[in-house]
Structure 1
Amino acid sequence: MSSQAEPSEDPWNKDTKRKFQNKSKSEFFDPCQEAAAKSIRCLNRNGGDRQMCTDYFEAYRACKKEWTNKRKREGGSIFFGPSKST
């Protein structure tokens, strides 16, 4: 059995963008939550052995990096949605 993390779809697509923009300011939203959940499940399966789950950790980091870079390119804050120019 392989511990390879599956490549995830684009974390910042139309659906996740809509969810992020329509959430309340106090609501947490992470388009990479699925990758985070997979890494936690891997740790649980392997008795907390982080070495067995490095692929999952890398997939989560790559997802977060891609998401934050796309948000920056769009000119929005990572936490509070698109910036408003005055």
Structure 2
Amino acid sequence: MASNENDQWQALPVDDANKTERKFSHKSASEYYDPCQDFADRSLKCMRRNGFDKEMCGDYFQAYRDCKKTWMTQRRFGSSGQK
């Protein structure tokens, strides 16, 4: 029975995986896409580089918070930032 369970979880063929990747890489901002992901990645890289010392990465965290705040404001009030 265990072999049947494993058979259900096969990797997608390369073509299907590429289609899925393209689909999400070209999506507009939504619940599936975070335009601030680059800032999040940079924060994590900083943490790894500095032995997870949060004080060394404060600027990266602030940049991420600023990005998220701007993005959420734009989503709330529309892309112009006004009601």
TM-based fold match above 0.5: yes
**Structure 1 vs Structure 2 CA RMSD:** 2.2
4+ aligned runs moved over 3 Å, structure 1: none
Of residues 19, 43, 49 in structure 1, which corresponds to 2:47? 43
1:19 aligns with 27
With a CA cutoff of 8 Å and minimum separation of 6, indicate the structure with the bigger relative contact order. 1
Equivalences, count: 54
In the alignment, structure 1 segments of 5+ residues that lack a partner are 1-17, 76-86
2:63 aligns with 59
More strand by share: 1
More helix by share: 2
In 2, Cα distance between the equivalents of 1:54 and 1:65?
Answer: 16
Q: Rg bigger for which structure? A: 2
- Residue 51 of structure 1 aligns to a residue whose secondary structure is helix
Alpha-carbon offset, residue 74 of structure 1? 1.5
What are the superposed Cα offsets for residues 15-57 of structure 1, whole Å, 9 maximum, x if unpaired? xxx7226x7xxx7210000000000000000000000000000
Give the TM-score of the pair, scaled to structure 2. 0.58
State, as a whole percentage, how many aligned pairs show the same letter.
48
In the alignment, structure 2 segments of 5+ residues that lack a partner are 1-25
